[in-house]
Amino acid sequence: MAGMSDYLENKLIDHIFRARGFTAPTQLWVGLLTAAPSDAGGGTEVTGGSYARVTPGVNSDTAWTATQGGTPAAASSGTGGQTSNPNSLTFPAPTANWGVVTHMGIYDASTAGNLIGWVALGTPKTINNNAPAPY
């Protein structure tokens, strides 16, 4: 992730330093954004035209890689602090113009919920009505 949300930072600090409970979500959802979020959240998520967030599946070693991209059962290590999903994510085919997608957000729910983190796309992508499903 390029950016971690204030929501997640606060939950981690409370959990690690203050011994407060934190139940991690069992599944994360990926959303497409047409404007960048910030630590405080925000950004502009695509809406309408059959758009829906997608999930890599239940959080597991097969849904997300270790930070150094090791074997699925390997623990994260190193200094990169980044994970990725090893499988393709396919969004629904657009039935309206979605605009120019510039970022992806990671959320703890299929709709609404909390922004966990985000990353800018290497190249923004214009997604128009009747285009193939983006992935």
> Distance between CA atoms of 69 and 18, rounded to whole angstroms?
31
**Residues 6 or more apart whose Cβ sits within 8 Å of residue 42:** 35, 115
What pLDDT is recorded for position 70?
Answer: 66
Q: What is the mean pLDDT of the chain?
A: 92
What pLDDT is recorded for position 125?
Answer: 95
What pLDDT is recorded for position 1?
Answer: 54
What's the per-residue H, E or C state across the chain?
Answer: CCEECHHHHHHHHHHHHCCCCCCCCCECEEEEEEECCECCECCEECCCCCCCCECCCECCCCCCCCCCCCCCCCCCCCCCCCCCCCCCCCCCCCCCCCEEEEEEEEECCCCCCCEEEEEEEEEEEEECCCCCCCC
Low-confidence ranges of the chain (pLDDT < 70): 1-2, 70-72
Q: Which amino acid is it at 6?
A: D
